[in-house]
Amino acid sequence: MRRMPAEYEPHRGTIMIFPEREGSWPYKAKKAQRVFAGIIKEIATDEEVHVVVSPRTEGAAKALLAGTDNVFFYVIETDDAWARDTAPTFVYEGDKLKGIDWAFNAWGGEYDGLYAGWDKDNALASVLCKKLGYESIDMQSFVLEGGSIHSDGAGNLLTTECCLLSPGRNPQMTKQEIEKTLLENLGGERLIWLPEGIYNDETNGHVDNICAFTAPGEVVLAWTDDKNDPQYELSLKDLEILKSYGIKVHKLPIPDVPVCVTEDDLGGYVFEEGEDVREAGERLAASYVNFYFTDRSVILPQFGGENEESDKRAVSVMRELCPDRRIVPVMARDIIVGGGNIHCITQQIPADRILS
């Protein structure tokens, strides 16, 4: 019997990938690398951090993290830095921890994938399982990204219809077959299908940007009271579903002012052929729900500028919901320009044994 533990359960550590892809990270990823390094340092005060670098980023990563304990480096080629989606999804099988190796196709493959080549990202999970000493469960027959699922460790799983039913994932399967596959592999008792994700989320609406478990049967939901914002109707649909399942919902408001690509950002990207491109003024999928639980902390995105008040509000909400953890606000605009945020660049390794 398998069980995907909740992110807030005990960890061994966290996997991250040092960024370099210029179609995701402007200006040769220098700003993003500094923010990643700051997050790694914060996580390393609580648990191990296993950092994947390439031969090109190894020197910069080690220089930025010099003197930081609890950090381990692995030189592995990847296509990008979204560890949530390309690193293993860890589950307990009995009392043994194993890593699931899902198929990865850059969020949609030939249908609507975000870049043309993803072989290195797809190979990462099995390689990391070997290096970290875990048995790998081969699920290369099923396309799934880690950001498209959430577990409370107590029988409830979350996903979104807009993502998992996308024609770019597993079009040969019915909704019922997809649900059966997830429940069998992740060990949940029920899968809650939310209709929608965050507005303009290029992953087709990953659940980790719209809704996250904070306790068994309890979630935060990205929210806005502005009925003119396109997010309003999306979040309202999700709220109705969550309530129908008896889930306790805490509303976590989105940034007051949309976070958008600027002309300055645009000047720093270098897009490869076949890669999704950005435009100045494009609304990014900014959400405070894309936070990360470490063993003792919550690493929480902040966006600054016109969103200073909503940043503070998000800190206040999470402090109230997680009184036993330190809340670590991180200015994350240099991450969101890549398309995702703090949760998207992290993947937890649960404790090797279930703790009683």
How far apart are the two ends of the chain, measured CA to CA in Å? 18
Q: Which two tokens stand for residue 56?
A: 């090109």
344 noted as active-site residue = yes
Residues listed for the chain:
356
Q: Hey, which residues does 166 pair with through a beta bridge?
A: none
Task: Give bridge partners of residue 238 from the DSSP assignment.
Answer: none
- Within 8 A by CB and 6+ apart from 329, the residues are 300, 302, 311, 315
The active-site residue out of 129, 162, 211, 344 is 344
Ordered strands of the 297-302 beta sheet: 292-293, 297-302, 326-331
Question: Residues 60, 39: contact at Cβ < 8 Å?
Answer: no
- The answer to whether residues 118 and 145 touch, using CB atoms and an 8 Å cutoff, is no
Instruction: For strands 347-350 and 11-17, give the pairing.
Output: antiparallel
SS3 of residue 66 by DSSP: coil
DSSP letter at 116 equals S
In order of 3, 148, 225, the CA distances from 125 in angstroms are 18, 16, 40
Cα gap 153→188, rounded to integer Å: 8
Contact in structure between 298 and 291 (CB atoms under 8 Å): yes
Cβ atoms 306, 257 nearer than 8 A: yes
Which residues carry out catalysis? 344
